[in-house]
Amino acid sequence: MKERFERHRQPWTPSEIAKLHQLAAKGMSLRAIATALTRSEESVKNRAKDDKLDIAKKR
């Protein structure tokens, strides 16, 4: 069952973007970052791509 996110299509806040950059720099996985930000994995992946961030691959 897919998780439901109440923040569907909500704009990213500057603090969320900063946290995304911080978590990506720590090498966290896409799923972990999405959970921490209460965003979907797809949303996090798209934002990371826009910001040219590398997200750690699953091991």
Distance CA 9, CA 50 (A): 16
Show the domain range for 43. Answer: 14-50
Tell whether pTM > 0.85. no
Beta strands, E only, 1-59: none
Task: Return the bridge partners of 29, or none.
Answer: 56
Task: Return the bridge partners of 56, or none.
Answer: 29
Distance CA 19, CA 25 (A): 10
In a domain, 29, yes or no: yes
Confidence (pLDDT) at 10: 87
In a domain, 3, yes or no: no
Distance CA 44, CA 52 (A): 12
Instruction: Round the average pLDDT of the chain to a whole number and report it.
Output: 87
Express each pLDDT in 39-54 by its tens digit: 999 999 999 999 999 9
In a domain, 42, yes or no: yes
Q: How many domains does the chain have?
A: 1
What is the residue type of 30? Answer: L
In a domain, 27, yes or no: yes
